[in-house]
Every structure is written in structure tokens, then in C-alpha cells.
Chain A
Amino acid sequence: MGMQIGFALFNGLTVGMSIFLVAAGITLVFGMLKILNIAHGSFFMIGAYVAYSIIGSHPDSTLQLVFAAILSGFVLAGLGLLLNASVFQRLRNIGEAYSLIATFALLMICNGATKIIWGVNYHSVSAPDALAGAVIYGSFFAPSYSLFIIGLGVLTFLALEIVVHRSSVGKIVRAIAHDSWMANLVGINTSRIYALVVMAAFFCVGMAGGLLLPNQSLTPLLFESYLLQSFMVVIIGGLGNIRGAFIGAIMLGLIEGANFLMLPGIPGILVYVILIGFLLWRPQGLFPQPGADTADRVEGMAETEGVPATMPPKSLSGGIVAAVLVVGVLASMPFWANAGFLFIVGFAMVEAVLALSWNLLFGYAGLTTFGHAAFFALGAYFVGFLLRQDTGIPFLALLSGSLALGALVAFIVGFVAIRRTSGIALGILTLSLGEILRRAISYSPALGSDDGLSGIPRPQIDLGPVLVDLSSERAYFWFLLAACSLVALALWSFTVGPMGRVLIALRQDPVRAEFLGIDVRRYRLLAFVISGAVAALAGALQAPWAQIVTPEAASYLHSTQPMLNTLLGGSGFFWGPIVGSAIFSGISYATRTLAGLSEVVSGGILLVVVLAAPGGVLGLGSRFSRTWRIGALHKRPAVDELARVGKQAVGGP
């Protein structure tokens, strides 16, 4: 037993150091640019592929491996320089949620490009002979490669530590991270330093890709393997603190080790449970960085293209005509569209409802969550499971049940989460909850484990005198259309009524809302509950359409879908998410034949939208009509803000 514990500890340490090697870069970027780079895992993957292209499957010597790793570090540093100029620089001026989404767009582009360049096949790389063996010391036995990784992790940490805390460059870097405005004022060329830091971070991650190559199976899914852990390290460490990241990485590794000993049946779940506890206990991390969490920053909001309408339009006729047209065209589709396309359209409608529910949080209540798919999966599994059991419960009762289930879970989660966290911490908390649910499902035989529930029958609806049979594709499509339209209409009335106005007030300025007598927490919780309920309903509607539910329904990749749809369409418009869903579905249908292309195209469009038109497609449209109406008025109240900033900087005691 002692032996086993020792081995688990050692393994944990190795994992921890691997995580640190990957997370060092993301920490640097966050500390400096205040951007949580979601694409970091993808850059790690690209680093690994580049190194693989250099050395192939069987590196001859350790030196060759290290050499390839360094080379790939340089390649990535070049890429970093490019991205800094084209993307990161612009992200500094937009809201936090937008910069998160922009880096997610980068993730999609990178992953797609990787598939196109290197293919989707599996490769494995063996460790060079010198590292393939083990070091044996008494009864203790340690793989050489693990020792190599641990040594490199410590070395990297020491190098960064010395550069950041002891060198003159490090001093400047810290000064900028602390207060870039002042740094600019005293004549530091901040943009050059930013570029330097980004390059350093990319160098680190490229090198990590090469060094960790022998530990991995090289597939286009590699980006996932350290992604979430890297986030956790950044969060635990205190957002941008290298020392914190180092300690956090070791902690994570040891937790993984403990998971292996105590819960061998569900690998990787303990980390999430502990992370959630940690977030609730110390949302600011072990070593909070000044100005790191931007949860209370309201300026970012004013930069967006406005908020959704707070009141119903004076005349409804235009809207009614448009709605009848859209619904009419959709309803006619079973008569002319082919089955594959019809299937996609059905999915798009459900995704649109999911996105509408997410935007209720993002665009209305000002909460950015990353785990929305969890509610969707709850509803989907609830209905899918019960339909397969043939319980005889009426379908409409099942749908109401999924609404109630979603609301209940959202209430419990929201009650704790909204009280304790905000900003990035809330994002990561919801992400972790989603991941826990996904893992829990994929290890539950009753729910079909990884394969999910398949062969879900389509129901009948008993309306007393008439029995509506939904078992055909066509019938269920119409039902889906009716249900989604009704939900959208209900949500719309909610948002243009008094409650919508309350939410819009607190999204723009929670402090002002509180001083209007609005209990901000209570209304945020209300939004959370409604949003969770609708998301669960979307899942419930989808289960009989797809006739299969898999744990992927709860994955964070699915959670990001509503975000992408919303941002693309325009979060400042109630109908934005629907427009976005339509466009995204169109893209993925059009590019379905070449693996990777759809990700590159969708990611590229999303990036352009976030950088050039943060109001989304609808925002672009309304901007044109607005400039046309009040051309002379300009926003950006920067001038009188400056006086205040200047006063604070100079006039303080």
C-alpha cells in the first residue's frame, strides 16, 4: 500500500509538472494582457505537431527531442507575434466576455487548421532510448521520462521566477501588469513589452508541446488534454501569478493522484469537485493579483453595441409579418427539403432556443456562464431515459418535468454560485459543473455510459379526442417548430416587459441597479432559474428528434455553441441568437465534407465579428441605419473619464 501511495504521489507530481509546463504560458498572458486565452491548449497541440513533423515517431536521442521542442517553441513564438499584432492587441479594448469568445474562435481555427494540415489520424511518439527506462532506488522505481519532466518543470519555473522577479525586464513587466496606464505615462513602450510577453508565452507552450510529445497520443483532440487543467491552474494560482500557478499545478497533479487511488472508476472527477469548492471558498485565488478579476468593471459594457430593446415596439405589424414568413417557410420544409437538411434545421431550432436561454444570462442579466450545456443534457437525458422506459407518462408532462428539473438545479447552483462568485470565477465554476455532469453520465451504465442512450422513441400526444402521433420525422418536425416558436415568443414577452427592464438595468450597472432598489442577486437568480429551465426544455425537445443523447451533450464544447450563436447574431438583440444559430448551421452544413474546414470558417467568421462588429450581424445592420440617422453623435465618453483617472493618479495622498 505504501508503495502504491508513493507511486501515485510520484505520478501526480509528473502530471502536475506537465500541467505547469503547459499552463506557464497561459498564466503569463493572463498576468499581462488580462486575457484568458482559451486557445492555449490548441497552441500546445500545434507545438506537439510541429515537433512531431521534425522528429517523427522515434526520436534518436534526448538531445534531438529537446532540440525539436525548442525549434517548435520558436515556430510558436513567431505565431504568437503574428497573433499579438492581429488579434491580442485589439482584445485589450473590448469587454472580458468578448475577449474570451475571441480566443475561443482562435481555438476553433487552430483545431480546424490542425485537422487540415496533419489529418485526423492517430500518431504516437516513443520516448528516446535514454528516457525509456526507469531509475530504481531500493524498492522505489521511477520512469526516467517522468524525472525528465519534473526536472524541466522545476527548471522552467525557476527561469520564469528569476526573469519576472529579479531581472530588469521583469520589473518593467510587473509595472505594466500592475498599471499599464501609469507605465505608459512614464514612457515605457508597453506595446513592445506586450509583444515580448506573448512571444515568451508562446515559446513556452510550443516547447511544452515538443517535450511532452512522448507522453501523448497525438490526435486533433490533444488540445483538450491540458486545457481545463490550465484554466484551473490560472484560477487557483490567482489569475496571472507564476508562483501561484506552480503551486496550483502541483496541487492538481496530486489531486489526480488521489483520484487514481480513491476513485479509480471515475478518473478526473475529483479535480472538478475540489476546484468548485476552491472557487466558492476563494474566488480570487491563492495569490490575488491587483486588478485581475474584472467582474465589476462596467466600462466594457458601454463598448458593446447597446442592449436589447427594453420595450415592445410601438407597432407589432412588421414583426408579425416577419415571424409568419419565417415560420411559414420552416413549416413548408418537410415538403421540399431533403432528410439530411431537415435534420440540421431541426437541430438549429433547438440550438436557437438554447442560445436564447443563454443570452438571457449574458445579454440581459450580465452573467457569463460556460456550462450551459449541462442544463440541456439534464433535460435530454431526463426525457430520453423516460421515453425509453415506456412509462406511459404523457409527453407534455415529461416536458414540464424537464422544465421543473432545469429550474430546480439552476436554483441550487445559482443560489450558491451567484452569491459567491462573478466574472471569470463564475465562468470556470459553471464550466466545471458541466464537466462533472458529463463525466458522471459517461460513467453511469444506467445512462448508457459513453455511448449514451440510443433508439429513443418519438412520442404520441393524447389530447383527449385526438391522438397526435409524432413518430414520423415530419410530424415531430412540426411539433418542434411549434414548441420552439412558443418558447421564443414567451421569452420575448418576458424580456420586453418589466422584468426585462430590470435585468437590462442590472446588466449595465449592477451598482446603479442596487441603488434603484433592485435586489441584484435575487433578479440574477431569477434569470438563472428561467434560463436553466429553458435550456433543459431545449434538451428535452431534442432527445426525440435526434433519438440519441450522448454525454457530449453536456460537454463544454456544446456549452460554447450558444455563446457563438449569440455573439454571431448579436447579443444586444433578442433575436440575435436565432440569427446566429441559422448562420452557424448553414456554415456547418455547407462545409460538412472536409474535416476541419467548418471549424476554420466558423472560427474565422466569429473572430472577425468579435473584433470588427461586436454587435454581431444584427448590430452591423442597425449600426448602418443608426449612423444614417444621427451621424453626428459619437460615443466614447473618454475625455471626461480621463480627468478622473488623472486626478486619481496624481492627486491621491
Chain B
Amino acid sequence: MIECSNIYKSYGAIPVLKGISLTVAERETFTIIGPNGAGKTTLFKVLTGEVPANAGVVTFNGENITRLSASARVHRGFGRTFQVARILPCNSVLENLIIALEARARRTERGSLLQLRPSDRTWDDAAEIAGRISLLNKVDIPARFLSHGDRKRLELGVTLALKPKILMMDEPTAGMSPGDRNATIDMIVRVKDEDRLTIMLTEHDMDVVAHLSDRIMVMNYGEAIAVGTLSDIRDNAAVRDIYLGEEIGDA
């Protein structure tokens, strides 16, 4: 489904990605883990077109998309959520969803410029998504007043409104309480199934990783250390070194 080879990226003189290659199959959940600063977010940025890579090729369903802008990639079926949720802070939950729905509708159907209000179907769809992300009771609240977990959920809802084929989630459970975290895991499993999604995510929480992932890639200092299923990764000596090292560092 999505494939990249030999991606290099540096910020100024500092290399952040040093030749990353990966392939994600359709309907797979592919998780990238690694210590802080490993380059996970940067890899996401390159794959989704937020920043250009210095070298390397990204293909999506066989098409070379390396040079496409982020919005053009969204048109091809990318959905992206961020480590710190990006939503429209001054708009209400419902407006956030409507703006996303309209952004998608504009590409697929001809709307009339004279119709100022969103169509009835848009309203209904927005309410339906609000239900799916359990924010139906907060639809009129401006997004900036939402709690951290609600913002993350809203961002997921906004992304789902685009009907993506692949969902790229950067730390979907960062900063959540254990209760919120479990609810999010369930929600991701559910939407993956309902919307027949392919998912890529980065995550620090091992519980989440274990619950969701089909395959896992471990990154460190901009390099891919290992790729495989959870048990492959557990048995990998290099990975052990990194994580044991980090745990000692954290203590």
C-alpha cells in the first residue's frame, strides 16, 4: 500500500533520517517505536508530505508521490493525526467536522457557491461522526475548551471525515490517562474495522503497541534497527540494548 525506500532527511547539518525503507501492506497496522528523538515524527512528516525528504522515494499504491504536497496526498487517501492534536481551536466540535466533510466533498462533488449553509447531509454526517468518537454531547463546545483526550478524539474524527485509506497517527495516546488510553485502543480497533483502514502509528506505550500492531519497526538515531512482529522484536538483541539502556537512563 505505502512504501518508501532510502529516505534521508536532515535539519541543517543534523541528519535525522538515515536511509529508512519500509513497506506497509493493505489493512495492516504498522507501528514505529523508538526512543525520544529517534526520528519517528520526522519519518511521518516525510511520508505525509509535510516536509520534503533530501533523498529517497515514497510510493502509494504504486504511484510515486515523493514530490506531491501534503494536500495532494490527502486527496489520494492519507489521513494524519499529530503528536499534539491539531484541531481548529476556535471552532466548535461540529464545525470542525463540517469543515473536514466539506473539504472532502469539494473534491468529489460540485457544490453550489450560492448555498451558504452546509448541506443537510453534511450536518447528518458530522453528527454521526461525533457519535462515533463519543463527543455527541459536546458538539457545540469550541474545541479549545476540550480536554486533552477529547481533542485527540476530535482530531481522529476530523481525519475520519476525510474517508482516508491510510491513517497515520503520531502517538495517538500520548499524555492520556490509562482509562482514556484503553478507550482509544478500542476506538482505533473499531474504526479500522469499520472503515477498512490501513494504519501506521508511532507509540511509546508498550500496551498500546502490543494491542494494536501487526508489525513493528524499531528506530534509533534515524535508523531502522529491526522490523517484525512483536515476538520478533522482543527477541532482537539490538532492540533490547536500546530499551534497557533507555530504562536505565530514565531511572
A residues sitting closer than 8 Å to B (CB atoms) are 301-302, 304, 306-307, 310-312, 493, 496-499, 501-502, 504-505, 508-509, 511-512, 514-520, 572, 633, 635, 637, 640-641, 643-644, 647, 651-653
Which A residues lie within 8 Å of B89 (CB)?
301-302, 508-509
State whether B74 touches A516 (Cβ < 8 A).
yes
With A and B bound together, what is the CA distance between A479 and B141 in angstroms? 43
Which A residues lie within 8 Å of B86 (CB)?
509, 511-512, 515
State whether A496 and B99 are in contact (beta carbons under 8 Å apart), knowing that A517-B74, A517-B107 are contacts in the complex.
no
Which B residues lie within 8 Å of A501 (CB)?
95, 98-99, 102
Which A residues lie within 8 Å of B90 (CB)?
301-302, 304, 306-307, 504, 508, 572
In the complex, B113 has a CB within 8 A of chain A: yes
State whether B69 touches A497 (Cβ < 8 A).
no
**Contact bitstring B220-247, A, C-beta under 8 A = 1, else 0:** 0100000000000000000000000000
In the complex, B189 has a CB within 8 A of chain A: no
State whether B113 touches A498 (Cβ < 8 A).
yes
State whether A311 touches B145 (Cβ < 8 A).
no
State whether A652 and B113 are in contact (beta carbons under 8 Å apart), knowing that A517-B162, A637-B144, A640-B148 are contacts in the complex.
no
**Contact bitstring B187-214, A, C-beta under 8 A = 1, else 0:** 0000000000000000000000000000
State whether A311 touches B117 (Cβ < 8 A).
yes
State whether B71 touches A310 (Cβ < 8 A).
no
| Distance in Å: Cβ of B86 to nearest Cβ of chain A | 4
State whether A508 and B91 are in contact (beta carbons under 8 Å apart), knowing that A514-B69, A518-B71 are contacts in the complex.
yes
State whether A518 touches B103 (Cβ < 8 A).
yes
State whether A310 touches B111 (Cβ < 8 A).
no
In the complex, B87 has a CB within 8 A of chain A: yes
In the complex, B166 has a CB within 8 A of chain A: no
| Distance in Å: Cβ of B232 to nearest Cβ of chain A | 25
In the complex, B175 has a CB within 8 A of chain A: yes
| Distance in Å: Cβ of A394 to nearest Cβ of chain B | 27
Which A residues lie within 8 Å of B144 (CB)?
302, 635, 637
| Distance in Å: Cβ of A122 to nearest Cβ of chain B | 50
10 A-B pairs within 8 Å (CB atoms) are namely A310-B91, A498-B106, A505-B103, A516-B162, A572-B90, A641-B84, A644-B84, A651-B37, A653-B36, A653-B221
| Distance in Å: Cβ of A466 to nearest Cβ of chain B | 29
With A and B bound together, what is the CA distance between A647 and B36 in angstroms? 9
State whether A519 and B69 are in contact (beta carbons under 8 Å apart), knowing that A307-B90, A509-B86 are contacts in the complex.
yes
| Distance in Å: Cβ of B108 to nearest Cβ of chain A | 11
Closest to B85 in A: A512
**Contact bitstring B97-138, A, C-beta under 8 A = 1, else 0:** 011101110110001010111100000000000000000000
State whether A505 and B88 are in contact (beta carbons under 8 Å apart), knowing that A312-B117, A653-B35 are contacts in the complex.
yes
Tell which of A496, A499, A501, A520 has the most Cβ of chain B within 10 Å.
A501
State whether A496 touches B37 (Cβ < 8 A).
no
State whether A517 touches B84 (Cβ < 8 A).
no
In the complex, B48 has a CB within 8 A of chain A: yes
Which B residues lie within 8 Å of A502 (CB)?
99, 102-103
With A and B bound together, what is the CA distance between A652 and B90 in angstroms? 31
State whether A652 and B36 are in contact (beta carbons under 8 Å apart), knowing that A312-B116, A514-B70 are contacts in the complex.
yes
Which B residues lie within 8 Å of A508 (CB)?
88-91
| Distance in Å: Cβ of A529 to nearest Cβ of chain B | 15
B160-206 with Cβ < 8 A to chain A: 162, 175
State whether A307 touches B91 (Cβ < 8 A).
yes
State whether A306 touches B142 (Cβ < 8 A).
yes
Closest to A520 in B: B71
| Distance in Å: Cβ of A342 to nearest Cβ of chain B | 34
Which A residues lie within 8 Å of B87 (CB)?
509, 512
Which A residues lie within 8 Å of B221 (CB)?
653
In the complex, B75 has a CB within 8 A of chain A: yes
With A and B bound together, what is the CA distance between A312 and B103 in angstroms? 18
In the complex, B28 has a CB within 8 A of chain A: no
State whether B175 touches A640 (Cβ < 8 A).
yes
Closest to B122 in A: A498
State whether A519 touches B113 (Cβ < 8 A).
no
Which A residues lie within 8 Å of B75 (CB)?
517
Which A residues lie within 8 Å of B107 (CB)?
517
Tell which of A512, A520, A633, A641 has the most Cβ of chain B within 10 Å.
A512
Which B residues lie within 8 Å of A647 (CB)?
36
Which A residues lie within 8 Å of B111 (CB)?
498
Residue in contact with B116 in the complex, picked from A302, A304, A307, A311, CB distance below 8 Å = A311
With A and B bound together, what is the CA distance between A367 and B100 in angstroms? 22
In the complex, B80 has a CB within 8 A of chain A: yes
With A and B bound together, what is the CA distance between A315 and B107 in angstroms? 30
In the complex, B50 has a CB within 8 A of chain A: yes
Which B residues lie within 8 Å of A637 (CB)?
144
Closest to A516 in B: B103
State whether B103 touches A497 (Cβ < 8 A).
no
B36-77 with Cβ < 8 A to chain A: 36-37, 48, 50, 69-72, 74-75
| Distance in Å: Cβ of A293 to nearest Cβ of chain B | 16
State whether A498 touches B102 (Cβ < 8 A).
yes
State whether A504 touches B104 (Cβ < 8 A).
no
In the complex, B218 has a CB within 8 A of chain A: no
State whether B98 touches A652 (Cβ < 8 A).
no
State whether A514 touches B84 (Cβ < 8 A).
no
State whether B71 touches A497 (Cβ < 8 A).
no
State whether A515 touches B142 (Cβ < 8 A).
no
State whether B50 touches A511 (Cβ < 8 A).
yes
State whether A497 touches B175 (Cβ < 8 A).
no
4 new A-B pairs (CB below 8 Å) besides A505-B88, A515-B48? Answer: A497-B113, A498-B116, A516-B74, A644-B175
State whether A651 and B116 are in contact (beta carbons under 8 Å apart), knowing that A504-B91, A511-B86, A637-B144 are contacts in the complex.
no
Which A residues lie within 8 Å of B104 (CB)?
516-517
Closest to A493 in B: B116
With A and B bound together, what is the CA distance between A353 and B87 in angstroms? 31
In the complex, B7 has a CB within 8 A of chain A: no
With A and B bound together, what is the CA distance between A504 and B142 in angstroms? 14
Which A residues lie within 8 Å of B50 (CB)?
511, 514-515
| Distance in Å: Cβ of B89 to nearest Cβ of chain A | 5
Which A-B residue pairs are the 3 nearest by beta carbons? A517-B74, A653-B37, A512-B86
Closest to B84 in A: A644
| Distance in Å: Cβ of B35 to nearest Cβ of chain A | 7
Which A residues lie within 8 Å of B175 (CB)?
640, 643-644
Tell which of B71, B80, B82 has the most Cβ of chain A within 10 Å.
B71
With A and B bound together, what is the CA distance between A460 and B86 in angstroms? 54
In the complex, B156 has a CB within 8 A of chain A: no
| Distance in Å: Cβ of A359 to nearest Cβ of chain B | 15
Which B residues lie within 8 Å of A509 (CB)?
86-89
Which A residues lie within 8 Å of B36 (CB)?
647, 651-653
In the complex, B158 has a CB within 8 A of chain A: yes
Closest to A640 in B: B148
Which B residues lie within 8 Å of A572 (CB)?
90
Tell which of A508, A519, A653 has the most Cβ of chain B within 10 Å.
A508
Closest to B111 in A: A498
| Distance in Å: Cβ of B34 to nearest Cβ of chain A | 11
With A and B bound together, what is the CA distance between A351 and B164 in angstroms? 45
State whether A516 touches B100 (Cβ < 8 A).
yes
Which A residues lie within 8 Å of B80 (CB)?
515
| Distance in Å: Cβ of A591 to nearest Cβ of chain B | 35
With A and B bound together, what is the CA distance between A515 and B85 in angstroms? 12
| Distance in Å: Cβ of A488 to nearest Cβ of chain B | 15
Which A residues lie within 8 Å of B99 (CB)?
310, 501-502, 504-505, 516
Closest to A650 in B: B36
State whether B145 touches A496 (Cβ < 8 A).
no
Which B residues lie within 8 Å of A516 (CB)?
71, 74, 99-100, 103-104, 158, 162
With A and B bound together, what is the CA distance between A499 and B106 in angstroms? 10
Which A residues lie within 8 Å of B162 (CB)?
516-517
Closest to A644 in B: B84
State whether B103 touches A635 (Cβ < 8 A).
no
